[in-house]
């Protein structure tokens, strides 16, 4: 069990990490989700012991490890860049932590071969890392982290520099590979999809703070505040300042339908809707029509992203199928008020879509 | 077009090689012939000058003395510069940039200004006229140079490799020797080459810090006249032999030098 309580890291006058408290269980998958510069890497370096926190406590199984140098800790780390020892063969690269731990030759050989098999590196064991492709190099780094049998495994955007297909493959395999070792598995990523795919628990990070930590699905469905919702949405969340009067939500002259929570006081709120909840066709009887001006549109695979302007707010509509819309065209976008998130002006969640699972 | 290019290159090389050819030419002549008149090649080919150098202790001990302090200096410079360069490359500490620049500025000072204090200091410490004295004196400009070159090579190695090694459980010395030094082997080679060359060609300090016992070849060579009169053939032969260590060292590091240039540090 890894516990962080009130951990902070100041560099000069800047707070890189402020007051982070988290608890990760053994054998659990934990995702650190946040945009670049949110402090994910810094936090991982603190967990690994590569850097010392300027405040707070880090405990492993109840024992403080703040003063413990990294080489005395049982951690493994995989970086975004493919980091291997260029002078060692792939075999020696994987074997390196066990050589230092003085593991006997037979066990070492067996473990290296096993890791190579899992990560499909068997044909390359005698090669040098720089003779391999990026994906193979990263798999070597992952294999080295695997054989160590560390109690804390940190992966810092390990798949960010890999090509699409390999990412898909490893993304599914990684949690499974490490789950068997019973380690605390921490995975940093900028991509909400990756967090959802990995499952487990997610901590969303923004500007060195944890905005929310909980079951990944819960964090996605019921983000505690606006910044969490924004971090956990790709393409970006569509946000608009609204006024609630009676049950009616309006911004400017445009009506966004009715708030589902009747107990909510009349006030100004921030409404947010995920891009895939907007549609070009009316869907159901509660659906509300909003007029939008098209900026640009991009087609990826079988989906179309339409960037529109709604009453001066920049929104993204994600629709299935390939659509042709021209820049400057005025279109009608439909949304179901039931899919709206409402936040206070301070950004706290007051209403989540009804379908969003509660608890569990 | 191609022909012109080759011609230009040939003329250039000819131009560069002429003094060296002349040195070799003279070294195979007798002093009388050198003084006698102009000739493109030795009329009376002789190895007498070389023979003298290899048999006369006042000559060959010059080479031995020079090699002694040059090798000492190279070893001292590289082994002290390695940790220093690592610190400059990996850590931020108070005044690091100023210190780095100050190291470099040592190279800008003319060695002549250090002669007097060095002679005084070494005499006081009974180091005068020893190879160690010259080796230490040459550290003055070789260590800064070595730190400068090595820092460039070390900064080319990602810091994450160091960290991965610590995470794997390497201690610092073990990591440094087993993983880090092989990674910058080319840099160490280039650094050693430059230390060797600068120490080998330096004359002022080497000459003034020695008298008899540790007299280097560059000092011996300044003796243009002896009891036998001018010995130009002998001098030319000594000069030709002085070139040899440099040629050998260049041969070993020629591939890495290009890499050093690419890193902008050489």
Residue with tokens 């945009």: A35
pLDDT band at B36 (very low <50, low <70, confident <90, very high): confident
Closest CA to A269 of A260, A277, A278: A260
pLDDT of residue A358: 40
Residues from chain B contacting residue A84 (CB–CB below 8 Å): 164
pLDDT of residue A359: 35
Share of chain A above pLDDT 90, in %: 43
pLDDT of residue B264: 56
Q: Which of A239-243, A296-300, B85-89, B237-241 is modeled with the greatest confidence?
A: B85-89
Pairwise CA distance, residues B72 & B111, whole Å: 19
Residue A30 lies in a domain: yes
Determine whether the interchain pair B166/A70 forms a contact, defined as Cβ–Cβ distance below 8 Å: yes
Give residue A180's domain range: 2-225
CATH of the domain at A269: 2.40.50.140
Pairwise CA distance, residues B203 & B209, whole Å: 10
Domain end position, chosen among A225, A257, A286: A225
Residue A358 lies in a domain: no
Determine whether the interchain pair A97/B169 forms a contact, defined as Cβ–Cβ distance below 8 Å: yes
- Does A158 lie at the interface with B, CB-CB under 8 angstroms? no
Average pLDDT of every residue of chain B: 87
**pLDDT tens for each residue of A4-33:** 999 999 988 888 999 999 999 888 889 999
pLDDT band at B2 (very low <50, low <70, confident <90, very high): confident
Residues from chain B contacting residue A79 (CB–CB below 8 Å): 160, 164
Residue A147 lies in a domain: yes
pLDDT of residue A7: 92
pLDDT of residue B173: 93
pLDDT of residue B14: 92
Lowest mean pLDDT among A201-205, A206-210, A335-339: A335-339
Residue A359 lies in a domain: no
Burial class of residue A190 in the structure, from the number of CB atoms within 10 Å of its CB (0-12 exposed, 13-18 middle, 19+ buried): middle
Residues from chain A contacting residue B183 (CB–CB below 8 Å): 86-87
**Quick one: A218 and A259 in the same domain?**
no
DSSP A152: E
Pairwise CA distance, residues A300 & A293, whole Å: 21
Determine whether the interchain pair B166/A71 forms a contact, defined as Cβ–Cβ distance below 8 Å: yes
**Quick one: A147 and A258 in the same domain?**
no
**Quick one: B139 and B25 in the same domain?**
no
- Does A294 lie at the interface with B, CB-CB under 8 angstroms? no
Size of interface A-B (CB pairs under 8 A): 48
- A137 to chain B, closest Cα gap in Å: 13
Backbone angles phi, psi at A49, to 5 degrees: 95, 10
pLDDT of residue B9: 93
Q: How many domains does chain A have?
A: 2
Question: What is the 3 state secondary structure string of A175-224?
Answer: HHHHHCCCCEEEEEECCHHHHHHHCCEEEEEECCEEEEEEEHHHHHHCCC
Determine whether the interchain pair A70/B163 forms a contact, defined as Cβ–Cβ distance below 8 Å: yes
**Quick one: B181 and B70 in the same domain?**
yes
Domain end position, chosen among A203, A225, A247: A225
Q: Has residue A134 got a pLDDT over 70?
A: yes
Question: What is the 3 state secondary structure string of chain B?
Answer: CHHHHHHHHHHHHHHHHHHHHHHHHHHCCCHHHHHHCCCCCCCCCCCHHHHHHHHCHHHHHHHHHHHHHHHHHHHHHHHHHHHHHHHHHHCCCCCHHHHHHHHHHHHHCCCHHHHHHHHHHHHHCCCCCCHHHHHHHHHHHHHHHHHHHHHHHHHCCCHHHHHHHHHHCCCHHHHHHHHHHHHCHHHHHHHHHHHHHHHHHCCHHHHHCCCCCCCCHHHHHCCCEECCEECHHHHHHHHHHHHHHHHHHHHHHHHHHHHHHHCCCC
A52 or B41, higher pLDDT: A52
pLDDT of residue A262: 67
pLDDT of residue B226: 63
pLDDT of residue B31: 79
Report the chain A residue with the minimal C-alpha distance to residue B158. A83
Determine whether the interchain pair A71/B171 forms a contact, defined as Cβ–Cβ distance below 8 Å: yes
Rg (CA), chain A: 24
Average pLDDT of every residue of chain A: 88
Burial class of residue B29 in the structure, from the number of CB atoms within 10 Å of its CB (0-12 exposed, 13-18 middle, 19+ buried): buried
For residue A77, give the nearest of B158, B167, B171 by CB distance: B167
In this structure, the number of other CB atoms found within 10 A of the CB of residue A67 comes to 8
B contact test, residue of A96, A150, A155 with most B CBs within 10 A: A96
Q: Has residue A357 got a pLDDT over 60?
A: no
Report the chain A residue with the minimal C-alpha distance to residue B159. A83
Q: Has residue A210 got a pLDDT over 70?
A: yes
**Quick one: B114 and B42 in the same domain?**
no
Residue A232 lies in a domain: no
Residue A231 lies in a domain: no
pLDDT of residue A249: 83
Pairwise CA distance, residues B108 & B261, whole Å: 21
Residues from chain B contacting residue A86 (CB–CB below 8 Å): 161, 183
Residues from chain A contacting residue B161 (CB–CB below 8 Å): 83, 85-86
**Quick one: A175 and A125 in the same domain?**
yes
pTM: 0.80
- Does A68 lie at the interface with B, CB-CB under 8 angstroms? no
pLDDT of residue B68: 92
Q: Has residue A173 got a pLDDT over 70?
A: yes
Report the chain B residue with the minimal C-alpha distance to residue A98. B168
Residues in chain A, how many?
360
- B142 to chain A, closest Cα gap in Å: 29
Determine whether the interchain pair B183/A97 forms a contact, defined as Cβ–Cβ distance below 8 Å: no
**pLDDT tens for each residue of B227-265:** 666 778 888 888 899 888 888 888 888 877 776 666 656
Q: How many domains does chain B have?
A: 2
**Quick one: B29 and B138 in the same domain?**
no
Give residue B42's domain range: 1-46
């Amino acid at each position: 069990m890894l516990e962080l309580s009130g951990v902070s890291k100041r560099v000069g006058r800047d707070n890189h990490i402020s007051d982070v408290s988290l608890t990760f269980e053994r054998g659990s998958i934990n995702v650190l989700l946040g945009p670049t510069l949110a402090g994910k890497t810094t936090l991982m370096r603190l967990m690994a012991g590569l850097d010392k926190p300027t405040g707070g406590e880090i405990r492993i199984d109840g024992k403080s490890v703040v003063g413990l140098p990294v080489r005395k800790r049982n951690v493994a780390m995989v970086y975004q860049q493919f980091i291997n020892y260029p002078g060692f063969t792939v075999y020696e690269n994987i074997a390196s932590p066990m050589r230092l731990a003085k593991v006997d030759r037979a066990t070492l050989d067996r473990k290296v071969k096993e890791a190579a098999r899992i990560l499909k590196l068997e044909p390359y064991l005698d090669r040098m890392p720089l003779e391999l492709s990026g994906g193979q190099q990263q798999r070597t780094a992952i294999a080295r982290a695997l054989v160590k049998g560390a109690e804390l495994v940190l992966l810092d955007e390990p798949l960010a520099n890999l090509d699409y297909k390999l990412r898909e493959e490893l993304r599914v395999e990684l949690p499974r590979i490490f789950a068997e070792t019973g380690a605390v598995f921490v995975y940093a990523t900028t991509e909400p999809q990756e967090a959802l795919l990995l499952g487990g628990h997610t901590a969303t990070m923004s500007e060195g703070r944890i905005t929310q930590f909980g079951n990944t699905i819960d964090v996605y469905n019921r983000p505690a505040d606006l910044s969490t919702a924004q971090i956990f949405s790709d393409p970006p969340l569509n946000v608009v300042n609204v006024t609630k009067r009676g049950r009616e939500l309006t911004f400017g002259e445009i009506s966004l339908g009715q708030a589902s929570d009747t107990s909510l006081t009349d006030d100004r709120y921030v409404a947010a809707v995920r891009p895939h909840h907007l549609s070009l066709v009316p869907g159901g009887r509660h659906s509300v029509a909003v007029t939008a001006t098209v900026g640009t549109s991009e087609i990826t695979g079988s989906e179309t992203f339409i960037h529109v302007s709604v009453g001066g707010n920049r929104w993204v509509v994600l629709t299935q199928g390939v659509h042709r819309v021209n820049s400057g065209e005025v279109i009608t976008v439909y949304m179901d008020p039931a899919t709206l998130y409402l936040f206070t002006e301070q950004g706290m969640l007051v209403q989540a879509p009804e379908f969003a699972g509660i608890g569990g | 077009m191609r022909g012109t290019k080759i011609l230009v290159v040939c003329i250039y090389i000819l131009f560069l090689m002429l003094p060296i050819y002349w040195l070799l030419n003279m070294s195979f002549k007798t002093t009388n012939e050198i003084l006698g008149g102009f000739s493109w090649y030795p009329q009376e080919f002789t190895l007498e000058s070389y023979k003298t150098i290899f048999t006369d202790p006042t000559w060959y001990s010059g080479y031995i003395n020079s090699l002694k302090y040059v090798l000492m200096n190279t070893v001292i410079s590289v082994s002290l510069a390695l940790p220093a360069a690592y610190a400059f490359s990996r850590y931020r500490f108070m005044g690091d940039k100023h210190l780095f620049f100050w190291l470099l500025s040592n190279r800008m000072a003319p060695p002549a200004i250090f002669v007097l204090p060095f002679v005084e200091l070494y005499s006081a410490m009974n180091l005068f006229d020893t190879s160690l004295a010259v080796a230490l004196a040459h550290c003055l400009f070789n260590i800064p140079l070595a730190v400068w070159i090595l820092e460039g090579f070390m900064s080319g190695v990602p810091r994450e490799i160091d960290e991965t090694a610590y995470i794997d459980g390497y201690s610092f010395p073990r990591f440094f020797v087993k993983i880090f030094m092989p990674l910058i082997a080319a840099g160490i080679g280039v650094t050693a080459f430059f230390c060797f060359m600068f120490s080998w060609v330096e004359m002022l300090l080497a000459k003034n810090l020695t008298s008899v016992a540790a007299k280097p070849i560059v000092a011996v060579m300044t003796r243009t006249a002896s009891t036998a009169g001018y010995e130009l053939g002998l001098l030319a032969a000594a000069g030709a032999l002085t070139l040899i260590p440099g040629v050998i060292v260049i041969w070993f590091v020629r591939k890495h030098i290009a890499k050093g240039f690419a890193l902008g540090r050489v």
